[in-house]
């Protein structure tokens, strides 16, 4: 799950920079990690699949449209939903928050 947090951080700032190719890559990697988690953690399978189908699909659609305003809204909603999921799954001690700065290990400038 830590990989999901790191990739989510990169996804957000890639989209903010208009690097939709990188945002799409990170979004797909996150989806893959969540689906792998659904397989390796069968107790959470239904919740993870539901989150991917109902919430993450909206993020995917916004990335596909390259629409920053829509992306920002659905991204914030997705984080709220993820943290609510942590609350209801007895993991209330996990509350993800977006770092205030972009990740320092990537140049987020679009290269397309």
Radius of gyration from C-alpha coordinates of the chain: 14
Say how far apart CA 83 and CA 22 lie, in whole Å: 24
Residue 111 lies in a domain: no
Number of domain units in the chain:
1
Whether residue 22 contacts residue 10, with contact meaning beta carbons closer than 8 Å, is answered with yes
User: Given this model, what pLDDT does residue 14 score?
Assistant: 98
For the cut 80, the answer to whether the pLDDT of residue 94 exceeds it is yes
Position 94 in a domain: no
Residue 50, both tokens: 């539901």
pLDDT at position 104 is 94
Whether the predicted pLDDT of 80 surpasses 80:
yes
Domain with 21, as residue range(s), is: 2-88
Q: Are 15 and 103 in contact (CB under 8 A)?
A: no
- Is residue 108 one of the residues assigned to a domain? no
């Amino acid at each position: 799950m830590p990989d999901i947090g790191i990739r989510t951080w990169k996804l957000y700032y890639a989209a903010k920079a208009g690097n939709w190719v990188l945002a799409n890559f990170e979004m797909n990697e996150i989806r893959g990690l969540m689906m792998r988690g659904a397989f390796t953690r069968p107790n959470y399978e239904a919740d993870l699949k539901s989150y991917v189908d109902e919430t993450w699909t909206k993020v995917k659609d916004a990335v596909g449209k390259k629409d920053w305003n829509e992306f920002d809204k659905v991204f914030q909603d997705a984080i709220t939903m993820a943290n609510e999921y942590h609350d209801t799954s007895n993991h209330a001690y996990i509350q993800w928050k977006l770092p205030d700065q972009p990740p320092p290990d990537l140049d987020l400038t679009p290269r397309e």
